[in-house]
């Protein structure tokens, strides 16, 4: 049974909060016409990644926690897609895109690793 209740101690939660903060910072320079488009979508997805990890820590079963991690992972792939679109349309520079991609890839691997370790205990 999953017993971790302090989500703040999870490295994956910490890194995904850092990522959400970076997304807020990066999207500040996006054109105003993207306020209700990419800015809103990317910020929502960025915030959802650590939020779902935190929510999963409150679950009382491994299956429920794994579900929350799967939602978090899905949000990370949404964010990755939005970053790719931002880069392709020229509002996210290549250097920043590579940095964010690298950070996000690490978070995705960490989520999958945590998910696997919880499933192994079930």
Q: What is the CATH number of the domain that holds 49?
A: 1.20.1440.60
Question: Considering the domain boundaries, does residue 30 fall inside one?
Answer: yes
CB 91 within 8 A of CB 34: yes
pLDDT tens for 54-94 read 999 888 889 999 999 999 999 999 999 999 999 999 999 99
How many domains does the chain divide into?
Answer: 1
| Residue 46 vs residue 4, higher pLDDT | 46
Question: Considering the domain boundaries, does residue 23 fall inside one?
Answer: yes
* Residue 3, pLDDT above cutoff 60: no
| Residue 25 vs residue 5, higher pLDDT | 25
- For residue 1, the model assigns a pLDDT of 47
- For residue 121, the model assigns a pLDDT of 82
- Express as a percent the part of the chain with pLDDT over 70: 95
Question: Considering the domain boundaries, does residue 3 fall inside one?
Answer: no
Mean pLDDT for the stretch of residues 15-22: 98
Distance CA 19, CA 25 (A): 10
Question: Considering the domain boundaries, does residue 1 fall inside one?
Answer: no
- For residue 5, the model assigns a pLDDT of 65
Question: Considering the domain boundaries, does residue 2 fall inside one?
Answer: no
- For residue 21, the model assigns a pLDDT of 98
Question: Considering the domain boundaries, does residue 51 fall inside one?
Answer: yes
What own/partner pairs with CB < 8 Å and gap ≥ 24 does 52-55 have? 53/7, 53/10, 53/12, 53/13, 53/16, 53/111, 54/7, 54/13
Average pLDDT, the chain: 94
Q: Three-state SS for 117?
A: helix
Which residue is associated with the tokens 């991609």?
101
* Residue 122, pLDDT above cutoff 80: no
Question: Considering the domain boundaries, does residue 45 fall inside one?
Answer: yes
Question: Considering the domain boundaries, does residue 37 fall inside one?
Answer: yes
Domain extent, residue 58, equals: 8-121
């Amino acid at each position: 049974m999953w017993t971790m209740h302090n989500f703040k101690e999870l490295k994956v939660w910490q890194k995904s909060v850092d990522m959400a903060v970076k997304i807020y910072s990066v999207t500040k320079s996006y054109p105003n016409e993207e306020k209700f488009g990419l800015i809103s979508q990317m910020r929502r997805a960025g915030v959802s990644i650590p939020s779902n990890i935190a929510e999963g820590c409150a679950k009382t079963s491994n299956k429920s926690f794994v579900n929350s991690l799967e939602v978090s992972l899905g949000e990370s792939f949404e964010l990755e897609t939005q970053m790719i679109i931002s880069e392709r349309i020229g509002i996210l520079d290549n250097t920043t895109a590579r940095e964010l991609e690298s950070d996000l890839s690490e978070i995705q691997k960490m989520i999958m690793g945590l998910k696997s370790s919880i499933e192994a205990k079930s």
